Structure 1
Amino acid sequence: MGRHRRPPDPQLPDDADARLHAIANKQPIVEEGVVVFHDSTVPYAYRTVHRPDGGTDRHLVRLDPPPPQLSH
């Protein structure tokens, strides 16, 4: 008999739990927060909406620093 290798386990997306939760409960699941990407100092606000139809909407907005204060 020949040797057979087992196929690799399927990789689920990181947000699989939230997607399944939205589908099972038939209501959107919203995740919001602030992230700074690797090798960067720029913060971004994010919002991810997992829809009951299995779709996902992602929004990412750069958080610019506030303008410098004007001296009087």
Structure 2
Amino acid sequence: MNEKRDRCGNTPCSWCDRDDWTCRFCLGSGWWRPEKPHRDNSGGLTWARVEEPCRMCGNTGKEHDPLPGSAPTSHR
């Protein structure tokens, strides 16, 4: 597993400037393990775990826009 990024790539990003909300999808690791469909040799469909950068926080481990109206006000 690779390290998480410092920033999500949006400039400016008021969410990356915060340290008080951990991403609820990856629990702050910056990585998550979703399942994806996989067809085996006999044609059956199974599910395989993959590990990839968290798309919800941009691999930062910091929550991004969790609830309407809860955006930080210091960087608007």
Structure 2 length as normaliser, TM-score?
Answer: 0.26
Bigger RCO of structures 1 and 2 (CA < 8 A, at least 6 apart): 2
TM-score normalised by length of structure 1: 0.27
Q: Which has the higher strand share?
A: 1
Larger Rg: 1
Whichever structure has more helix as a proportion of its residues is 1
